[in-house]
Structure 1
Amino acid sequence: MAVPATQEGSSRASATPTPKGAWKITFLLFLFMLVNFADKIVVGLAGVPIMTELNLNAEQFGLLGSSFFLLFSVAAIVVGFVVNRVPTRWVLLVLALIWALAQFPMVGTIGFTTLLVCRIILGAGEGPAASVAVHAVYKWFPDEKRAMPTAILSQGSAFGVILAVPALNWVIVNHGWHYAFGALGIVGLMWSAAWLWLGREGPLAEVELAASREQRVPYLQLLTSRTFVGCVAATFGAYWALSLGLTWFTPFLVKGLGFSQQEAGFISILPWIFGACVVLTTGFVSQLLMARGVSTRMARGVLGATPLIVGGILMATTPHVDGAGAKIALLVVGSGLCGSIYVVCPPMIGEFTPVAQRGAAMAIYGALYTLAGIVAPVVMGKMIQSSASLLEGYMSGYTINAVIMVISGLLGLALLWPNTERARLRAHQAVAPEFA
């Protein structure tokens, strides 16, 4: 039976206390994700000045947005296997240094090609970030206590935008977009210094590893399990919306709705504020439900996938309402609801993946769903370029986003059954030769 297997894993997790220093590491990794998303948002925030100075059309700017994700997935997979053997402490430090150094060339006068290459390098450095951070924090918390740390890491993305957008926008308006990149480089170096001083490896990894040596699962079985496929499918739709928010939301406010750069900077943080509320609420509710004995199918799977469907439906109505305020409100709520899936999928994968393989599994998961980041900005650029008006092009792009969100959410509802996945994989192992 699947339930006893899950209960067995849960009882082991609940019997393991949270080590001293776990929340300090969680806070440092929260700041790590904050810097990560500040780096991501800067091109979208400075989109109009960049397009103006470099004389870029919509398709070229869409390509610039997508270039960030060109090596994103490849790097995520490679580093995912590295962290199965190398301490995450040192991997995180190297990633942060790459981010910082990739920003400084933009301080000078550059062309489109230099900007493109630097974004590709930055994307390669940031591709593994989320999965490595999650893998690192899971070395400090047992399974039943992972929902809130995961939610807090997710909040690094929201606060990275909420805090960075006003500051970076002020730099852009008063000193030019070049210096916004330089400021991010300095912040990246500051985090690297703090992590070198305070960062530590979690002590629970060795405990979990000793308990799970006999449970190593072939990667083919892990990656084709229905819950893993469901996580990839559901998060793909959420990341489509996120990548459009990173690249196109501020230009949409300026060019599509007529707001000034300064006004657009303040409006741009609204989806992230709402998303932060969604993420924290999801983490709290998920952990509360699990404490009351609710299955992870409901407390994680259904809880994470349903908001995707609701958000997609709301976003689909955006072209059919009048007024800038109504359109912004629907986009803010629709995209913000996507945040739930980021909270629940990593713990679900962690439920049935042996710790010795978790780093790679998390990385492959991240590499697959972030492929949406390559496609979404280009699709929006093509919609804008080929439409009769800017606003019509934006609305076509957001309608495509809405359809993808609804389909992704439905796939999530159908496929996310983490509470039975461990037993299913063990049963499969019993009749199949083991390899990894």
Structure 2
Amino acid sequence: MTDQQPRPLKGAWGMTALLLLFMLINFADKVVVGLAAQPIMADLKLSPEQFGLLGSSFFFLFAISGVVVGFITNRVQTRHTLLVMAIIWSVVQFPMLGTVTLEMLIACRIILGAGEGPAAPVALHSIYKWFPDQLRGMPTAIIAQGSALGVIIAVPTLNWIIVNYSWHWAFGALGIAGLCWVVLWLIFGREGTLVDQPAHVAEGMVERVPYRRLLTCPSIVAACCAGFASYWGLALGLTWFTSYLVDGLGYSQTVGGNLTILPWIFGMCVVLAGGWLSQRLKKAGVSSRLSRGVLAASTVALGGCILPFVGSMPTPGLKVAFLVVGAAIGSSIYVVTPMIVSELTPQPQRAAMLAITSSIITLAGVIAPLAMGATIQNASSPVVGYEQGYVILGGLLLAGGIIGLLFIRPEADRARLAAHTVMLPVAVPARA
């Protein structure tokens, strides 16, 4: 490999495919509760606030687990942590095949959230060991699209299982899928060997920046603000979107469940296009501020301008269209945030910083389903409550997008962080 023509390692795209499948299962696990919202609420006799608690419970340990495992993954090979996570996801689905109470369902979702919290940052840290910085746009976008593909592929199948069998078997099917991935990973999973070692760093030394400097870096904080607002919308999509279609707009479970894929199809197109464009601009010499910051933050703000009009649309079809576009058009923030963090963070600290920022962003998942449940329960009608919740989301997206536009400046922040960088000897032999 030369500096002039950076290339991914041999086998990098095969690993990308495996990690795409990993994230596909990850998001199928997330969406199943929202997809089965009406049957679960009917069987367990849940109020909207109780179901909101169930939706939020997935995120109770999500952020904490992400941070803890992120620091562990600074020292442990990613292939091991990925394997343990997938085993946890799989095993925790099977209790749903028996008699289920709200308490049991919440407990299993909390454990599942703890297992899935580190998934995205660890998967990205893993693939960044296969691709140099200039070529990370597309693999980041592809892995991020495990979320959309997980929904697009799984929703029709899970919805068919829910309609023709029961929501219990939808959970069981996901457990089986998780175990299949575990087998594939045991056979094919490997660790990348690419090390981001700047030219000015001497052999046997590593760069480090105090975490307080990284966590208060304006670019990282602003990316987290935009990502938090966008994840608020994602959490509502996971928990309440199908219920809005069925309970709010009057679609059947079959039609409403199948329509659930629409935001994810649109989001997938946005993320892949955004990742491709960001990488192309970066390779062409465009600044990270423009190719990563402005590109993503402007679409987040645009989504915030669209969503307040959902309630004023005259037909259910137009309501769905405005909701889909408004909630998903800013999805490229999920691609650029880890690239910004990676650009500003020395590799020995990268796994932890990816995990910390991911955990900050996904804290929206704790609040959003609960807030929507309370809004629906206290509104004059369910449809009014849903649409009030989407106005709140629009305000958050607009604020997050503006913060991103103003403060995501990676080049300036990299120069500031350089003043606080220290060189330390490698304490232990570097792991592959």
Q: TM-score range by the shorter chain?
A: over 0.9
The alignment partner of 1:105 has SS state of helix
Which of 169, 183, 186 is the equivalent residue of 1:193? Answer: 183
| Matching residue of 1:89 | 79
Aligned mates of 2:140, 2:213 — CA distance in 1: 25
**Alignment deviations for residues 381-436 of structure 1 (CA, whole Å, 9 cap, x no partner):** 00000011011110111110110011011111111111222211012448xx9xxx
| Matching residue of 1:121 | 111
Higher share in helix: 1
- CA apart distance, 1:265: 1.3
Show structure 1 runs of 5+ residues with no match.
1-10
Q: Which amino acid aligns with 2:83?
A: L
| Matching residue of 1:331 | 323
Q: How does 1:262-411 map to 2 (within 5 A)?
A: 262-411=254-403
| Matching residue of 1:135 | 125
Q: Which amino acid aligns with 2:163?
A: V
| 1:426 is the counterpart of 2:432 | no
Aligned mates of 1:241, 1:164 — CA distance in 2: 20
Aligned mates of 2:204, 2:276 — CA distance in 1: 28
- CA apart distance, 1:95: 0.2
**Which segments of structure 1 move beyond 6 Å, counting only runs of 4 or more?**
208-212
Q: Note if contact 1:387-1:393 (Cα within 8 Å) is conserved in structure 2.
A: yes
- CA apart distance, 1:211: 6.6
* CA distance 1:73–1:211, change in 2 (3 Å): farther
- CA apart distance, 1:18: 1.3
- CA apart distance, 1:15: 4.8
| 1:26 is the counterpart of 2:53 | no
* CA distance 1:172–1:211, change in 2 (3 Å): farther
Aligned mates of 1:211, 1:300 — CA distance in 2: 31
The alignment partner of 1:205 has SS state of coil
Which moves more between the two structures, 143-152 or 409-418?
409-418
Q: Note if contact 1:279-1:340 (Cα within 8 Å) is conserved in structure 2.
A: yes
Aligned mates of 1:140, 1:342 — CA distance in 2: 20
* CA distance 1:190–1:13, change in 2 (3 Å): farther
| Matching residue of 2:148 | 158
Q: Which amino acid aligns with 1:114?
A: M
Q: Note if contact 1:101-1:185 (Cα within 8 Å) is conserved in structure 2.
A: yes
Aligned mates of 2:194, 2:250 — CA distance in 1: 52
| Matching residue of 1:39 | 29
| Matching residue of 1:235 | 227
Q: Which amino acid aligns with 1:27?
A: A
Q: Which amino acid aligns with 1:249?
A: F
* CA distance 1:170–1:298, change in 2 (3 Å): same
TM-score normalised over the length of structure 1: 0.94
Q: Note if contact 2:207-2:421 (Cα within 8 Å) is conserved in structure 1.
A: no
Aligned mates of 1:173, 1:323 — CA distance in 2: 26
Show structure 2 runs of 5+ residues with no match.
425-432
* CA distance 1:254–1:351, change in 2 (3 Å): same
The alignment partner of 1:215 has SS state of strand
Aligned mates of 1:235, 1:52 — CA distance in 2: 33
| Matching residue of 2:59 | 69
- CA apart distance, 1:213: 3.7
* CA distance 1:19–1:52, change in 2 (3 Å): same
TM-score normalised over the length of structure 2: 0.95
Which moves more between the two structures, 14-23 or 88-97?
14-23
Q: Which amino acid aligns with 1:132?
A: V
Q: Note if contact 1:254-1:260 (Cα within 8 Å) is conserved in structure 2.
A: yes
| Matching residue of 1:183 | 173
Aligned mates of 2:336, 2:230 — CA distance in 1: 13
Q: Percent of aligned positions with the same letter in both sequences?
A: 54
| Matching residue of 1:245 | 237
- CA apart distance, 1:206: 7.5
Q: Note if contact 2:208-2:421 (Cα within 8 Å) is conserved in structure 1.
A: no
| Matching residue of 1:7 | none
Aligned mates of 1:382, 1:238 — CA distance in 2: 20
Aligned mates of 1:20, 1:89 — CA distance in 2: 17
Q: How many residues align?
A: 423
Aligned mates of 1:212, 1:113 — CA distance in 2: 52
| 1:99 is the counterpart of 2:89 | yes
| 1:52 is the counterpart of 2:42 | yes
- CA apart distance, 1:88: 0.1
The alignment partner of 1:259 has SS state of coil
**Alignment deviations for residues 274-312 of structure 1 (CA, whole Å, 9 cap, x no partner):** 000000100111111112111010000000100001111
| Matching residue of 2:253 | 261
- CA apart distance, 1:215: 2.1
